[in-house]
Amino acid sequence: MKKQLITLIENIMSIKFGCIQGRLSKIPNNKYLQYFPKNWEHEINLLKKTNLDFLEFFKDRKKNSRSPFFSDKGFNYVRKATLKNNISNYSFCDDFFINRNILNYSNLGEYFKNLSKNLNKINIKIYVLALLEKSNLTNSNYLKFIRPLKIVRRILKKKGIKLALETNLDSQTILRLFKKIDNTFLVYDTGNRFNKNKDQYTEIIELKKFIIHLHLKDKNLKNQNVILGSGKVDFKKVFKALKKINYKKNFTFETNRGRNPVKTMKKNLLIIKNIARKEKFL
């Protein structure tokens, strides 16, 4: 009994919950999921109202004048803002290569040397590389990604940052890819993976060696991002699987904002923690 109590306390203390930057802000049009907030510093203040631990920063697909993540000076601003507000930084999601094919990006080494230097400034531990659209990983092209991913992994590793891929590849191809690249990991997105494989319990167990980070989101059968708890993702089975694989890493909400983003996020956290406790994950 005493051992179980110690394990429970350790899990609660070590596992942190965050949200993707922009999900605490109202947006001009509901078609936007990833939307860089008009005032990113204000969103750091809003984080305190949600009981979340961190913001998962993200870099836009194209240069955005509101974003600090396109210059060294901007990263310095972020560092000062998070230190001032006592926010612990953890993960960074890069959408830059969604609009560019990473396979033929000529300045790949230079891009990641500069980026890793700046991510280190803000104490990022997990770098999420979105390999979608222009850089989409598929069953037929995944071998072509090995060389550039090894370059990225090597550069990030020098700064103590882990590379985590966001991909819609099926689980068996993911396993084949990761056998060829060591020290490369997976972001498991509950919404996107549900669209790929409804049996998420089995898939999480299959991918257990490589899951280093989770994006929490709910989707309906039309593959639409919906309010957490109103879709078809079975979070009970997700947490049963996570308990079975002894997952002790962090979570990021990448959820529908609802009418009031801050209230929605507070409710999201309560829903997930209640499910996690019932499944004896927390």
pLDDT band at 3 (very low <50, low <70, confident <90, very high): very low
pLDDT of residue 13: 54
Spatial contact of 228 and 19, defined as CB atoms under 8 Å apart: no
pLDDT of residue 10: 44
SS3 label, residue 249:
coil
Average pLDDT on 237-243 reads 98
pTM: 0.93
Rounded Cα distance between 183 and 164, Å, is 9
Rounded Cα distance between 241 and 226, Å, is 23
pLDDT of residue 31: 67
Question: Nearest Cα to 187, choosing from 87, 65, 100, 91?
Answer: 91
* pLDDT per residue as tens digits for the range 22-57: 999 998 876 678 899 999 999 999 998 999 999 999
Spatial contact of 279 and 12, defined as CB atoms under 8 Å apart: no
The percentage of residues in the chain with a pLDDT greater than 90, rounded to a whole number, is 90
AA letter at 10: E
pLDDT of residue 195: 82
Domains and CATH numbers, the chain: 2-278 (3.20.20.150)
AA letter at 23: R
